[in-house]
């Protein structure tokens, strides 16, 4: 990604057509799944190898809480790297959709290094990057005041991806979830308001970054909610009181 930004920056310097349409010093990023982890690190989140080694030494307690993404994250546990900084100062706002990495690769200390506006999408039926360890806790660990968590109770890991019949594996509809016509309007509406507010300096768009608006545009097939201010203590209390 840094290579791409460098290439675009060079284009702006040498081609006036690019200069009129792209500011390489004011970049917003959207990433899904592993791409979500990528934008978190480019936005400032730091790899925490102490956390990785600690978490990867603990077996999953039972099949109902098994975190498939942790298997991938724990492949980093044998790395000797330390103090790795993957952030890029050109990145000014990020949207991570169903990201992995928060529970293990980054942890609380890693997420607290993010200093820019950050939004996270979480899906209640995500079997690959479960919402609680990979999005809910990473969200409450954020210290940046401009943070948003958009939760989709009926969402899956594939809810915001384009459908294709060319894939190697056939994924059942029950795992794919709702069709894009129900899900993509959220991503488009929210990302427009989010990046106009924090990337293009149009604060009037911030009026759309609230739970009332998100619920107003929600179809019954795909409800959603937005929060920006609940704490780690509140999250833990909510989980303890859940059946």
Model pLDDT for residues 102-157, shown as the tens digit of each residue:
999 999 999 999 999 999 999 999 989 999 999 999 999 999 999 999 999 998 88
Model pLDDT for residues 55-78, shown as the tens digit of each residue:
887 766 544 457 888 888 887 655
Give the count of beta carbons closer than 10 Å to the beta carbon of residue 220.
6
The domains of the chain are located at 23-161+171-241
Bridge partners, 119 (sequence order)? 95, 148
Instruction: Collect all residues with Cβ–Cβ distance below 8 Å to 116 and sequence separation of at least 6.
Output: 43, 44, 91, 92, 93, 94, 144, 146, 198
C-beta of residue 36 within 8 angstroms of C-beta of residue 100? yes
What is the model's pLDDT at position 62? 47
Measured CA to CA, the distance from residue 25 to residue 36 in angstroms comes to 21
Q: How far from the centroid of its chain's Cα atoms is residue 154's Cα?
A: 17
- Tokens for 30? 């959207």
pLDDT band at 173 (very low <50, low <70, confident <90, very high): low
Which of 3.30.230, 3.40.50, 2.40.160, 3.30.1490 would CATH assign to domain 23-161+171-241?
Answer: 3.40.50
Whole-model pTM: value is 0.89
Q: Indicate the average pLDDT of the chain.
A: 86
Give the count of beta carbons closer than 10 Å to the beta carbon of residue 79.
12
3-state secondary structure 18-60: HHCCCCCCCEEEEEECHHHHHHHHHCCCCCCHHHHHHHCCCCC
């Amino acid at each position: 990604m840094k290579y791409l930004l460098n290439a675009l920056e060079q284009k702006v310097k040498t081609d006036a057509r690019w200069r009129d349409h792209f500011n390489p010093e004011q970049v917003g990023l959207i990433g899904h799944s592993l791409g979500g982890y990528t934008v978190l690190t480019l936005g400032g989140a730091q790899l925490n190898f102490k956390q990785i080694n600690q978490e990867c030494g603990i077996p999953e307690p039972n099949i109902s809480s098994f975190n498939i993404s942790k298997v991938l994250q724990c492949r980093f546990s044998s790395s000797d790297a330390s103090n790795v900084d993957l952030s890029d100062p050109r990145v000014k706002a990020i949207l991570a959709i169903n990201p992995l990495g928060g529970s293990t690769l980054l942890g609380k200390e890693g997420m607290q290094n993010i200093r820019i506006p950050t939004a996270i999408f979480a899906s209640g039926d995500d079997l690959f990057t479960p919402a609680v360890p990979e999005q809910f806790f990473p969200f409450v660990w954020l210290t940046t005041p401009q943070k948003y968590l958009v939760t989709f109770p009926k969402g899956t890991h594939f809810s915001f991806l384009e459908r294709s019949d060319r894939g190697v594996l056939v994924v059942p509809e029950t795992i794919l979830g709702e069709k894009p016509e129900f899900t993509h309007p959220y991503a488009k509406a929210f990302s427009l308001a989010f990046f106009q507010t924090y990337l293009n300096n149009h604060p009037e768009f911030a009026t759309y970054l609230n739970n009332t608006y998100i619920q107003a545009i929600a179809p019954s097939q795909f409800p959603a909610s937005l929060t920006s201010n609940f704490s780690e203590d509140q999250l833990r209390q909510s989980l303890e009181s859940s059946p």
